[in-house]
Amino acid sequence: MNSWINLTALWKIIVIGLLAGAGLPAVFAIGLRALNPGAQAQTAAGVDADGNEISSAPTVTGGVAGIAAATLCFAIVLAGIGWGIYSIVHNS
């Protein structure tokens, strides 16, 4: 072991950096994907006074399982953000 490089601290920094830097955005993307299943999404449509068809914003069609998975993913992201703020405030 080299006295100039602390390898134990180095691997901890790399692992935490990968988890927070790539892991949390990936979990957030999975949560968004669970809310919108893609090709199966439908829009709420209606008809105006002239008989023309109008459509509004897409509805959430992830179903109960998709909404539960998205909620879990967003809770993990919020917990990661909270843990980061906590460790910055209390370790300084």
pLDDT at site 20 = 84
Ordered by start, the domain boundaries in the chain are 7-38+60-90
pLDDT at site 1 = 58
Per-residue pLDDT 10s for the chain (92 aa) are 567 888 888 999 999 888 888 999 999 999 999 988 764 445 555 666 666 666 665 555 668 888 999 999 999 999 999 998 998 999 86
Q: Which two tokens stand for residue 20?
A: 């927070």
CA distances from 21 to 29, 48, 57, 80, 86 (A): 13, 47, 32, 11, 17
pLDDT at site 60 = 58
